[in-house]
A = this chain, B = another copy of it.
Amino acid sequence: MVAPLKAGLAGLGTVGSAVARLIAQQRDLIEARCGRGIEIVAVTARTADKKRDLGQAKPRWVSDPATLAADEEIDVFVELIGGEGDPAKLAVKTALAAGKSVVTANKALLARHGVELAALAEKHGVALNFEAAIGGAIPIVKTLREGVSGNSFARVYGILNGTCNYILTRMEQERLSFAECLKDAQRLGYAEADPTFDVEGFDTAQKLALIASLAFGIRVNPDAVYVEGISSITPEDLDAADALGYRVKLLGVAVRTAQGIEQRVHPTMVPKETAIAQVMGVTNAASLDAEGIAPITLVGPGAGGAATASSVVADLCDIARGALAPAFGRPLSRLTECRQAPMQRHEGGYYIRLAALDRPGTFATIAKHLADENISLESIVQRHPGGRPHGGDDPNSPATPAPVILITYATTEDAVRRALNAIKREGVIAGQPQVIRIEKY
């Protein structure tokens, strides 16, 4: 019998204690699958005296993460502290430098310092596994690292933030405003008190940067990701999307273009019949397009103690089995520098919602500026609020804005921005135009 893998666990919140319990519960299964057991021999957390259910584990208490990381007894350090800086970073570096493998759920740390940490892991010949950092229980890292090793990807994209998908689902199904749904999400514990990181797309951007690195062999760089959140989406947008055969999802998309790997996070119109459009509520999903392969889509619970613990334990099992793959799927020398593909050169279809002032010549002005930028329209929907016929029956409010919805054929971000600026300058629309990119399938 091979000696058990000895793990030190830093962070004993929902995920940390779920990890300890799962390992205790599944002792036999893990031994059967890995040829050896896994033991949590030492732990640390912010407060020592809190009551926690760690199953049958009776680990030794260690004062702080960095001390635990250097602990002589442990083979692997499990980092569930969170945050891109210390103490998580110091502890992970300490563990790797001491020749210990690391398992972490910390997307922020990896997105920011992934290259540096992968270099350290490579130098010391140890594993740096982070299945739990993206998509909860969904085996997306393993699939990108090992599952489809022989394929070059054309595009990878996903719904990587359960908070946003929950909000968009509620907005769509119950025609509620963003603010109302956010409040509900906060009440249900799906959104933080300060929701900015989730709803403005930054969480998705960090996860996308990791996925893009694995898929395209680029050095992870969250700053190369164009980011736009969902707070400006209205029920009217979702209604219009529905009528046009789309759903709106906050997607993270990484795609190979002539300009490099384009990485972007933004509300996206996806055709209703695609697998990704079917993903509702807090569920996450990722789709992979490779040559000759219609997308492979992985769908599952994106957060929660059990789901995240499942991925942490799977990563530990790989280490117990002796499997060792480079952190980002290729050795650092084979990862290329990540050039940011300029978003203004993004090509695709656009959904544009304008509040057109209801007076003669408005539409001609809009059409002219679109034509000036060579933007062709696939469809135009003009809806008068309350079903009021064109021209209105109230002669005193000739300039009431009426929503005009335009769907463009493929064009560039640049052209759309220029056309909309010109239209704004003409004073024929009220407020800001709403722009949602359409993803092609």
Q: For residue A314, which residues in chain B have a CB less than 8 angstroms away from its CB?
A: 146-150
Contact B292 A296 (CB under 8 A): no
Given contacts A292-B304, A296-B300, A298-B297, contact A148 B137 (CB under 8 A): yes
Contact A310 B283 (CB under 8 A): no
A295 interface hit (Cβ, 8 Å): yes
Q: For residue A406, which residues in chain B have a CB less than 8 angstroms away from its CB?
A: none
Q: For residue A299, which residues in chain B have a CB less than 8 angstroms away from its CB?
A: 275, 295-299
Comparing A326-334, A344-352, A358-366, A410-418, the segment that makes contact with chain B is A326-334
A403 interface hit (Cβ, 8 Å): no
Q: Which of A206-259 contact B (CB under 8 A)?
A: 217
A293 interface hit (Cβ, 8 Å): yes
B32, B304, B318, B331: the one contacting A334 at CB < 8 Å is: B32
Contact A301 B294 (CB under 8 A): yes
**Total identical chains:** 2
Report how far A297 CA is from B140 CA in the complex, Å.
12
Q: Which of A256-284 contact B (CB under 8 A)?
A: 273, 275, 278-280, 283
A22 interface hit (Cβ, 8 Å): yes
Contact B298 A150 (CB under 8 A): no
Q: Which of A146-169 contact B (CB under 8 A)?
A: 146-152
Q: How far is the CB of A297 from chain B (nearest CB, A)?
A: 4
Q: For residue A305, which residues in chain B have a CB less than 8 angstroms away from its CB?
A: 292
Q: For residue A34, which residues in chain B have a CB less than 8 angstroms away from its CB?
A: 149
A92 interface hit (Cβ, 8 Å): no
A35 interface hit (Cβ, 8 Å): yes
The secondary-structure label for the interface of chain A is mixed
A371 interface hit (Cβ, 8 Å): no
A376 interface hit (Cβ, 8 Å): no
Q: Which chain B residue lies CB-closest to A313?
A: B150
Q: For residue A310, which residues in chain B have a CB less than 8 angstroms away from its CB?
A: 148, 150-151, 290, 292-293
A66 interface hit (Cβ, 8 Å): no
Q: For residue A148, which residues in chain B have a CB less than 8 angstroms away from its CB?
A: 137, 139, 310, 314
A354 interface hit (Cβ, 8 Å): no
Given contacts A142-B142, A147-B142, contact A137 B29 (CB under 8 A): no
Given contacts A139-B148, A146-B317, A329-B33, contact A295 B291 (CB under 8 A): no
Contact B152 A142 (CB under 8 A): no
Q: For residue A139, which residues in chain B have a CB less than 8 angstroms away from its CB?
A: 139, 142-143, 147-148, 296
Contact A26 B151 (CB under 8 A): yes
Q: For residue A280, which residues in chain B have a CB less than 8 angstroms away from its CB?
A: 273
Report how far A217 CA is from B142 CA in the complex, Å.
21
Q: Which of A4-41 contact B (CB under 8 A)?
A: 18, 22-23, 26, 29-30, 32-35
Most chain B CB atoms below 10 A, which of A30, A33, A306, A316? A33
B35, B150, B152, B313: the one contacting A331 at CB < 8 Å is: B35
Report how far A303 CA is from B138 CA in the complex, Å.
23
- Residue interface bits A127-143, CB-to-B below 8 A is 1, else 0: 00001000001110011
Which residues of A come within 8 Å of B, CB atoms?
18, 22-23, 26, 29-30, 32-35, 131, 137-139, 142-143, 145-152, 217, 273, 275, 278-280, 283, 290-301, 304-307, 309-310, 313-314, 316-318, 321, 323, 325, 329-331, 334
- The 27 listed contacts between A and B (C-beta, < 8 Å) are A18-B292, A22-B151, A26-B151, A29-B149, A29-B217, A30-B150, A35-B331, A138-B296, A139-B139, A139-B296, A142-B146, A146-B317, A148-B310, A150-B309, A275-B278, A283-B294, A290-B310, A291-B306, A292-B304, A292-B307, A292-B310, A293-B300, A293-B310, A295-B299, A296-B301, A298-B299, A323-B323
A139-B296, A298-B299 provided; 7 other pairs, C-beta below 8 A? A33-B145, A34-B149, A139-B142, A139-B148, A142-B143, A278-B278, A295-B300
